[in-house]
Structure 1
Amino acid sequence: MGKGVKYKKMDKSYFESRELKRHAGVWSLWALGVGAVISGHFSGWNLGLASGGWGGMFVATCIVAIMYVGLTQSVAEMSPALPHTGGAYSFARSAMGPWGGFFTGLVENLEFILTPAVIVFFLSNYMQGIFETAPEMLPFWWFGFYTIFTLLNIVGVELSFRFTVALTLLALGCLGIFWASSIGSTDFMTYALDIKAGPDGTAEHLPGGGGSLFPMGWEGALKAMPFAVWLFLAIEQLPLAAEESVDPKKDMPKGLTYGIITLIISAFLILWLNASIPLGSYALSQSGEPLLDGFKVLYGDNIAKLLALVASIGLLASFHTIIFAFGRQIYSLSRAGYFPVILSLTHSKRKTPYTALILGSLIGFTVLMVTKFLAGNESEVFVGGALLNIAVFSAMLSYILQCGSFLLLRKDKPNLERPYVSPFGKLGAWTTIFLASVIIYFQLQDQSYRTAVFISIGYLIIGLVYFGLKGRHRLILSPEEEFAMEHEAKKAIVKN
């Protein structure tokens, strides 16, 4: 049953009040994966240009894309083999026991709670500019977006997935319009290569362009890696929809594979075209809204507000889909007793985890309010620095744990039914572990990232202390737990 833990077997009514509804097919899953990431193609990635220049950012994107291919294919193998809504927690529970499952779930929880808080902060700044509201109104924008999108996720899984598909297609359509519009205005040598290294090694503008592909050398490319992560971060949430997928054993690997292919194509197009128009790499590296600034160059400032609305669609898509993710993530850990069981209740008619969704949104909103109270006018620096970087750090740690689970499952459970097998096998998992570790290392070289890492570690220690004192004595035989324990029993029989 797992060392030092106690389980309780619940009656039928417990699970009847915690049922989910199957609805999602391949393209709904594809939209869920792409939609969660797509805001990173609108903004965030561009800050890496200041670390490594265009060539450095290109190399960083290539390396990070390889990491995510390894990750998604490892997850694509595990998800249909363990088709539960627990996702990363479920994989780690079967591979590393209750302690490993809880720790992995806790790490992923940190990522999925903070990422939408960062997204809604910048989304509300867009709205403030468009509608010219006072800075004091920002908390009302935050509250409004959290309320609307939490309700959308509660109303029903069909509506939620339809909205996900619509927003994802709209966001990709916005990017497509930008790509098509910018091709005729590109001058790669003049604009993309307009960064040089200053006397202190920081990025400076090079008028007229024609600079080096790698103005900060190869180290600059490595330093740009944490920013390239934003072009792919959160696609790993897809297995959380396993129990709402019509056929997770067939559809989950396809959704993950089609999703990462879509994101790789989009990532390289936006990197090439956004930097190659008259705006230039240097101006882009200092921009908070790179896609919007690109649209303004192409279409002029006269329709800036309309363009800002267009540019906000990517943020809306990611905000909506990651709210879905944290709802299912909290639900799965609660259903198994790791979190208080009230958080796994689902709506009697709509079969959505309303308590988990409400709590996740309340925590995100509270984090923003506390940040505003403590940081004041420096809120944007803190959200764009510490909170954003906590999400990246927890994601990298989660990838190491998930790929570690993949390797352990290959080793300890070779006879586990695997409807899909990763074509990259153990090499793909080890590559992901190595590259995620490198990204954490370069995060620790930057002071703002270092602060984020220490905040994350503090949260994880508190969670582990809670589990050690209370949580491990209150576990429940949920589908993830029963599956893991059945295979542990089979392994023990084989050994004897």
Structure 2
Amino acid sequence: MQTGQLKPTLNAWHLWGLAVGLVISGEYFGWSYGWNSAGTLGFLITALVVAVMYTTFIFSFTELTTAIPHAGGPFAYASRAFGPTGGFIAGFATLIEFLFAPPAIAMAIGAYLQVQFPAVHPKAMAIGAYLVFMTLNILGVRTAATFELIVTVLAILELLVFMGVVAPGFSMANFVAHGWAGQDTFTAATAAGMFAAIPFAIWFFLAIEGVAMAAEEAKDPKRTIPIAYIAGILTLVVLAVGVMVFAGGVGDWRKFANINDPLPQAMKVVVGENSTWLHMLVWIGLFGLVASFHGIILGYSRQIFALSRAAYLPSYFAAIHPRFGTPHRAVLAGGVVGVAAIFSDELFSFGGQTLTANIVTMSVFGAIVMYIMSMASLFALRRKEPNLDRPFPAIGYPVFPAIALGLAVVCLAAMVYYNFMLSLVFAGLMALAYVVFMRGGQVRREAAAAVSPAGG
């Protein structure tokens, strides 16, 4: 076993596939829980505001990813801007985001497969998904990224097919009916519901920043990463709006608002239960879930690897497989956490939400904290290191980064207010991690050279 640097093998197409693939499961499930509180019209507005946050964030985030190409991503940027404590906050928030997203996706994979195999328990299928895709990630990053690109393209095509097939059954009257949080007019309850729906709007775009964690494995990252990010966010915004509008207009959208497979159920209204189109959506639709599941496993493993290499976690997890060149122990460690989450019904089933909805929200808590730390790092590094080589400066600086930061703070405040118990669980996990972090201070000082990101 060895530790050290990862090998650059990924081109711009691989990175675009990773950017979209990390996220695209958000178009297949998870977002429809937002209809429960906001309705179709309220949630559409919430999703568009969140899309603005993500667009401005990505146009700013590329400055950091190209200036400091490092497998730790936000951890590396915050460490450089604010020191070890800043690195801890960004790094462990990112880790929570990437550890809790895969179990939610795995359970959606199980729900999709149960449409075809009703006798098989969806949790058993979810565990099977972990075993298959952890293995693929261990076998090699180029193999994993090529597979990611292929399934991402298939997933995009399937979403376009979904929109085309249900289009004849679409009615704007269906979409707007009871569209303001179950009412036909905007009320104070609608506004509250729109804030409560923020985590599920974020789910549309969650984890696109994971491309930063493949920065050490990218060829010419100062050129390829901006291409991947900008093309990726534009692709995802178009798909998110299209899927949401078409699914909401084919019937009574309230029937799709609390399930893990809204697209097959929406298509069923138009084509019937025995249609070839429906079976195709279930099977090919799995590609969207697989693309994100597979890509986020790659992301969490690189985050665990980077934190371990910098002595924020035990160095045991920084091992690189001597044959495949991948952080195999980090892949397996994240899988253990994910499988435990799948069976954590008593811990995460509260507040009137399903287990999946609460795991999604936990992942979003990590993401939002990381977005705030990343934008704060961008501003801090502009002051602290004005001469740092910035191959792709933030577009619209300082306005775009400020918009992204401001909207992220609003999102975090709303999430704490509407998910107070989950926020306490998130804070508890961060506090526990901080204890481990403080005990490893001397080891980190001795590993200072390893913490210094490449390119800086």
- Normalising TM by the smaller chain, what interval? over 0.9
Q: CA offsets, 1:71-96, max 9 Å, x none?
A: 11221001110011110101101101
Q: CA offsets, 1:73-127, max 9 Å, x none?
A: 2210011100111101011011011111122101111111111011112212332
Q: How far did 1:42 drift?
A: 0.9
Taking a change above 3 Å as real, the CA distance of residues 281 and 106 of structure 1, as seen in their structure-2 partners, is same
Taking a change above 3 Å as real, the CA distance of residues 184 and 353 of structure 1, as seen in their structure-2 partners, is same
Q: Secondary structure at the match of 2:325?
A: coil
What amino acid does structure 2 have at the position aligned with 1:298?
A: V
What TM-score do the two structures reach when normalised by structure 2? 0.93
Taking a change above 3 Å as real, the CA distance of residues 151 and 379 of structure 1, as seen in their structure-2 partners, is farther
Counterpart of 2:25? 39
What amino acid does structure 1 have at the position aligned with 2:73?
A: G
Give distance in 2, aligned partners of 1:454 and 1:280. 35
Preserved contact between residue 124 and residue 141 of structure 1 (Cα < 8 Å):
yes
Q: How far did 1:62 drift?
A: 1.5
Preserved contact between residue 109 and residue 330 of structure 1 (Cα < 8 Å):
yes
Counterpart of 1:183? 167
Q: Spell out the pairing of 1:166-181 with structure 2 (5 A cutoff).
A: 166-181=150-165
**Gap regions ≥5 residues in structure 2:** none
Counterpart of 2:128? 144
1:92 paired residue among 74, 78, 96: 78
Counterpart of 1:455? 425
Q: How far did 1:203 drift?
A: 2.2
Q: Secondary structure at the match of 1:195?
A: coil
**Gap regions ≥5 residues in structure 1:** 1-13, 205-210, 488-496
Counterpart of 2:102? 116
What amino acid does structure 1 have at the position aligned with 2:334?
A: G
Q: Secondary structure at the match of 2:47?
A: helix
2:398 paired residue among 399, 402, 426: 426
1:402 paired residue among 370, 374, 380: 374
Tell me the C-alpha RMSD between the 2 structures: 2.5
User: 2:144 matched to 1:203?
Assistant: no
Give distance in 1, aligned partners of 2:297 and 2:389. 31
Taking a change above 3 Å as real, the CA distance of residues 419 and 411 of structure 1, as seen in their structure-2 partners, is same
Q: How far did 1:134 drift?
A: 4.5
Q: How far did 1:377 drift?
A: 9.5
Give distance in 2, aligned partners of 1:127 and 1:225. 28
Give distance in 2, aligned partners of 1:154 and 1:457. 31
Q: Spell out the pairing of 1:345-364 with structure 2 (5 A cutoff).
A: 345-364=319-338
Q: Secondary structure at the match of 2:174?
A: helix
Preserved contact between residue 73 and residue 422 of structure 1 (Cα < 8 Å):
yes
Counterpart of 1:53? 39
Preserved contact between residue 55 and residue 213 of structure 1 (Cα < 8 Å):
no
Q: CA offsets, 1:305-358, max 9 Å, x none?
A: 553223322211111000000011101111111111121111112211111101
Give distance in 2, aligned partners of 1:375 and 1:77. 38
Preserved contact between residue 74 and residue 422 of structure 1 (Cα < 8 Å):
yes
Give distance in 2, aligned partners of 1:376 and 1:111. 15
Taking a change above 3 Å as real, the CA distance of residues 329 and 82 of structure 1, as seen in their structure-2 partners, is same
Q: Secondary structure at the match of 1:184?
A: helix
What amino acid does structure 2 have at the position aligned with 1:454?
A: L
Q: Spell out the pairing of 1:320-399 with structure 2 (5 A cutoff).
A: 320-369=294-343, 371-372=344-345, 374=346, 381-399=353-371
Give distance in 2, aligned partners of 1:329 and 1:67. 23
What amino acid does structure 2 have at the position aligned with 1:392?
A: V
What amino acid does structure 2 have at the position aligned with 1:245?
A: A
Preserved contact between residue 348 and residue 355 of structure 2 (Cα < 8 Å):
no
Counterpart of 1:193? 176
Give distance in 2, aligned partners of 1:63 and 1:309. 32
What amino acid does structure 2 have at the position aligned with 1:192?
A: F
Instruction: Give the number of the structure whose alpha-carbon radius of gyration is greater.
Output: 1
Give distance in 1, aligned partners of 2:47 and 2:165. 23
What TM-score do the two structures reach when normalised by structure 1? 0.85
Task: Provide the identity percentage.
Answer: 30
Q: Secondary structure at the match of 2:274?
A: helix
Counterpart of 2:54? 68
Counterpart of 1:11? none
Preserved contact between residue 198 and residue 415 of structure 2 (Cα < 8 Å):
no
Q: CA offsets, 1:45-69, max 9 Å, x none?
A: 1222232333212211121011101
Q: Spell out the pairing of 1:250-269 with structure 2 (5 A cutoff).
A: 250-269=223-242
Counterpart of 2:292? 318
Counterpart of 1:411? 383
Counterpart of 1:207? none
What amino acid does structure 2 have at the position aligned with 1:463?
A: A
Give distance in 2, aligned partners of 1:353 and 1:463. 21
Preserved contact between residue 111 and residue 261 of structure 2 (Cα < 8 Å):
no
Preserved contact between residue 30 and residue 256 of structure 1 (Cα < 8 Å):
yes
Give distance in 1, aligned partners of 2:363 and 2:349. 22
Give distance in 2, aligned partners of 1:56 and 1:386. 21
Q: CA offsets, 1:239-283, max 9 Å, x none?
A: 100111011011111111111010111111112222122x24333
Give distance in 1, aligned partners of 2:304 and 2:348. 30
Preserved contact between residue 54 and residue 214 of structure 1 (Cα < 8 Å):
no
Taking a change above 3 Å as real, the CA distance of residues 276 and 214 of structure 1, as seen in their structure-2 partners, is farther
Q: How far did 1:219 drift?
A: 4.3
